[in-house]
Amino acid sequence: MENSAYPPTRKPAHRRWAALAIILLTLGAAAGGAAIFAGRFQDAGGKAEIALQKVLREAGFSVRSISVAGRVQTGPAELLRVLNIARNDSILHIDLDAVHDRIASLPWVKDVRVTRNLPDAIHIELFERHPIAIWQRNGKMVLVDDEGVEITEKDVAEYHDLPLIVGKGAPQAASELISLLGAEPQLGSRVAAAVRVGERRWNMRLKDGIDVRLPEKDPLTAWHRLARYEENNGLLGRDVELVDLRLANRVVVRLSEGAVRRAKGPEREAGLHSFALIRGDA
């Protein structure tokens, strides 16, 4: 099917078009022609319908080839199933709108164009979705695209390098997250998961277990600030459990219990420059 053509034995073109002209004149040129090219050829019903399709096929107006462009993730068997078009079907009786809607219902398909190239070819152009994150939802993993649309739960393992997102509203904010991670690649590569909180902001869980709380407003500036702190002070390697960036002018850090016991009060705090150290929940 894909980029292929059945090897037809075609009738001379003048005979095909002469037959079509006779059919259109019989049906009414204006109404019939408009219906054909709109993809809504009207049923004649009963024996007349069968006879009409036979005439069209004998005149060469039957499906001999189906070509597909843009298919990457959509399985060929799945596509053939929803096409529901067989070789030698009357090409003028194919409802293009119905074919479009069936293909558009496939999980990987974002958009599709279906065209009828008379006398005997159907061309399909697929525009597929591109996953940007894996959404953990109710214990299951789902691929989502840049519009927050759920794609599929199948073959998620093949996309293990995509960011893991958690929480209500996470898919709709995934594009923002990808931009955030890409703005500081070294810091972004340390993120194990991003949790959407209250459908308003992100908490980052780093691979070494550190939680980073980003603000609702202007998280990018806060993310840049954390990257500079890490470059200059190695903040994320100091027995840190949590970094809270929700305050515009301060970075609040919570140390592990062991680090707090080893710290020497004001000396330890002074060693972290302007960071405010707290114990317990933020």
Q: What is the pLDDT of residue 279?
A: 40
Overall domain count for the chain: 2
Please check whether residue 4 lies inside any domain of the structure.
no
Domain that holds residue 226: 131-278
In this prediction, residue 249 carries a pLDDT of 81
CA distance linking residue 143 with residue 271, whole number of Å: 44
Q: Which whole-number Å values give the CA distances from 244 to 57, 102, 127, 144, 260, in the listed order?
A: 71, 48, 41, 28, 17
For the chain, 282 residues long, give each residue's pLDDT as a single digit of tens: 555 534 444 555 555 555 555 555 554 444 444 444 444 544 445 666 666 666 766 677 889 999 999 999 999 999 999 999 998 898 888 999 999 999 999 999 999 999 999 999 999 999 999 999 999 998 899 999 999 999 999 989 999 999 999 999 999 999 999 999 999 999 999 999 999 999 999 999 999 999 999 999 999 999 999 999 899 888 887 688 999 999 988 888 888 776 656 665 554 443 333 454 444 443
Q: Are residues 172 and 112 in the same domain?
A: no
Residue 213 within any structural domain of the chain: yes
pLDDT at 234: 85
pLDDT computed for residue 235 by the predictor: 83
pLDDT for the residue 10: 53
Q: In this predicted model, what pLDDT tens digit does every residue of 180-227 receive, in sequence order?
A: 999 999 999 999 999 999 999 999 999 999 999 999 999 999 999 999
Regarding whether 143 and 274 lie in a shared domain, the answer is yes
The end-to-end CA distance of the chain, in Å, is 60
Is there a single domain that holds both residue 85 and residue 152? no
252 and 136 share a domain?
yes
Q: Where among 128, 145, 171 does a domain terminate?
A: 128
Residue 155 lies in a domain: yes
Do residues 143 and 249 share a domain?
Answer: yes
* Same domain for 135 and 97: no
Q: Return the pLDDT at 277.
A: 42
- Residue 192 belongs to some domain of the structure: yes
- Contact partners, residue 109, CB within 8 Å, separation at least 6: 74, 103, 126, 127, 128, 129
Residue 238: which CATH number?
3.40.50
Among 128, 154, 173, identify where a domain stops.
128
Residue that terminates a domain, selected from 65, 95, 128: 128
Q: If you count them, how many residues does the chain have?
A: 282
Assessment of whether the complete model's pTM goes beyond 0.85 = no
